[in-house]
Amino acid sequence: MQPTATVLVYSDNANTREQVRLATGRRPASDVPEVRFLECATLPAVLTELDRGGVDVCVLDGEATPAGGMGVCRQIKDEIFQAPPVLVLIGRPQDAWLATWSRAEAAVTLPVDPVEFAAALADLLRSKSALTAG
């Protein structure tokens, strides 16, 4: 059986969550596992899923309301032991500094560009598997 990676996608916008799923496909690159999605529309749902464990990467919508993805990222980096790597979706390239402030490992702009997004997600999945293998 092929291993799978669990990707938590947080956005209050169902269209944004769909863009992430479509950009990823079954797997974002041939050298990473197939992806299983956990979709969350609220901060409490994100925290519940992270408490359960097993999340390999988080994709957080920086434009989500009322809790934006960058604030959520900073919160989980502060509160969750060995928090998974985070890819933040930002509204404008000028918001990259906020993604750095949030301690996200990667950021891409909205709307989701499938090639850019898949490459960033694959990089995070590779780094996650390198950490767990080592």
Listed by start position, the domains of the chain span 4-133
State residue 134's pLDDT score.
43
pLDDT of 2 higher than 70: no
Kindly report, residue by residue over 117-133, the tens digit of the pLDDT. 999 999 999 987 655 54
Kindly report, residue by residue over 55-108, the tens digit of the pLDDT. 999 999 999 999 999 999 999 999 999 999 999 999 999 999 999 999 999 999
pLDDT of 6 higher than 60: yes
State residue 130's pLDDT score.
57
Domain 4-133 indexed as CATH 3.40.50.2300: yes
Reported for 117-123, long-range contacts at CB under 8 A and 24+ positions apart, including other chains, are 117/20, 117/23, 117/24, 117/28, 117/87, 118/23, 118/24, 118/25, 118/28, 118/29, 119/28, 119/29, 120/87, 121/7, 121/24, 121/28, 121/35, 121/57, 121/59, 121/87, 122/28, 122/29, 122/31, 122/32
